[in-house]
Amino acid sequence: MNNKPILDVAETPNPVQWLTLSLQHLFAMFGATILVPYLVGLSPAIALITSGLGTLAFLLITKFQVPAYLGSSFAFIVPVIAAKEAGGPGAAMVGAFLAGLVYGIVALIISKAGHRWIMKVLPPIVVGPVIIVIGLALSGTAVDMAMNNPEGEYSLLHFSVALVTLASTIIFSIYARGMLSIIPILAGIVIGYIYALLVGIVDFQPVLDAKWFEMPTFIIPFVSYKVKVTWDIVALMVPVAVVTLSEHIGHQLVLSKVVGRDYIKEPGLHRSILGDGMATMISALLGGPPKTTYGENIGVLAITRVYSVYVIAGAAVLATIFGFIGKITALIGTIPTPVMGGVSILLFGIIASSGLRMLVDSKIDFADKRNLVIASVILVVGIGGAIVKLPNNFQVEGMALAALLGVFLNLLLPGAPKVEENMFDETASNNKHKTA
């Protein structure tokens, strides 16, 4: 495999390259970034704007050394919906801000105490089952979106739109090559949208009526809502950071291998985690969904061998600009629900399967009763929607409760495997400057 970069991390492309490559990178992130706000009832325009601003903040904090794009986090879909139902959009934003704050606290601890302790708290036996819960807990939502018409009744016509979208996404995922293999979600949405247009369930009028420049309705603390921190919101949103922190570490390790640098050591895991948390806090202050590093980003880097942080920054700037273009926002709004439902069937399944893959790749032995107990409790509590209700209306439920129980069981049960001393160092020794 040729690992020599076409554009290395610090290289600046010429203007034409810059625009073309940044657009290409943004399109790879586009489908997943707009799907999350669509599912949770937030503005796709604000999601794009905060995705761009969050990515720029991440690049600044990591000293323009880590070529990572931050998009909407799927791990927060269920908690955001629950928080909105409990206290409106403002409650969800407060919870998202607190989750980002957890990143900052973890980053501070890592900067002082090193990074190995976090793998003891968040080993694969905890994170893998929680990721499975995230995917499967959303399965009912995906199926309802796929099968039902706007009145909530079963519709074969709408289901056919979902099935065409699903089939297209699968075909692009399996058979596409090059950049198309990186954008199966976006490609599936486009094909599903065209089919929905042909069968007459798309109203294109809002796009014609929309202005080219349009200011989104930002959800700003103390202006759009009264800031109120409750234990319910903390319990709903903060535990999800258990999952996204582990996801972040995994992405940094893989990114290090692709780019040929050791990002755990330089600029440091504490900087990248802080950047991730800052992106989520910026998003929360403006009314966007929580942010996370994207696996799609790593895929684009691996295929194109364009590692330039300036291309990433260009994609972030374009995302921010697109959020203010009313025609684009209106076009996103015309995407029928079954199109998103069809994509979601595959995407949520992939999320669950990625948790299973983590267990397989980590060689988790389920003949070990310890592992069996931890995984079993997480899966049933999370998917079953168990709730712990305490005085003063404090409650922890579903995925959050499952994640907390998993962490506690892992720390309390005897026989925990030791974190290998070289697990972080392998990236440096095997990949350091191999692209030079």
Domain count of the fold of the chain:
1
pLDDT tens, 65-116? 999 999 998 888 888 988 898 888 899 999 999 999 999 999 999 999 888 8
Q: Which residue's structure tokens are 């074969």? A: 156
Report, in angstroms and rounded to the nearest whole number, the Rg of the chain calculated over CA atoms: 21
Q: Band the pLDDT of 432: cuts 50, 70, 90.
A: very low
Residues 55 and 279: beta-carbon distance below 8 Å: yes
CA–CA gap between residue 350 and residue 348 (Å, rounded): 5
Q: Provide the b/e sequence for 334-366 (b: ≥16 CB within 10 Å).
A: bbbbbbbbbbbbbbbebbbebbeebbeeeebee
Classify residue 434: in a domain, yes or no.
no
Classify residue 3: in a domain, yes or no.
no
pLDDT tens, 274-324? 999 999 999 999 999 999 987 777 877 877 788 999 999 999 999 999 999
Position 163 pLDDT exceeds 70: yes
pTM: 0.81
CA–CA gap between residue 314 and residue 272 (Å, rounded): 19
The domain of 350 spans: 15-415
Classify residue 156: in a domain, yes or no.
yes
Residues 309 and 5: beta-carbon distance below 8 Å: no
Q: DSSP 3-state assignment of 71?
A: strand
pLDDT tens, 103-156? 999 999 999 988 888 878 888 898 889 888 888 888 888 899 899 888 888 989
Classify residue 1: in a domain, yes or no.
no
Classify residue 295: in a domain, yes or no.
yes
For 279, the enclosing helix (H) or strand (E) is helix 269-286
Q: Which residue's structure tokens are 């919101």? A: 233
pLDDT of residue 182: 67
The amino acid present at 358, given as its one-letter code, is M
Least confident of 19-23, 309-313, 347-351, 372-376: 347-351
Classify residue 70: in a domain, yes or no.
yes
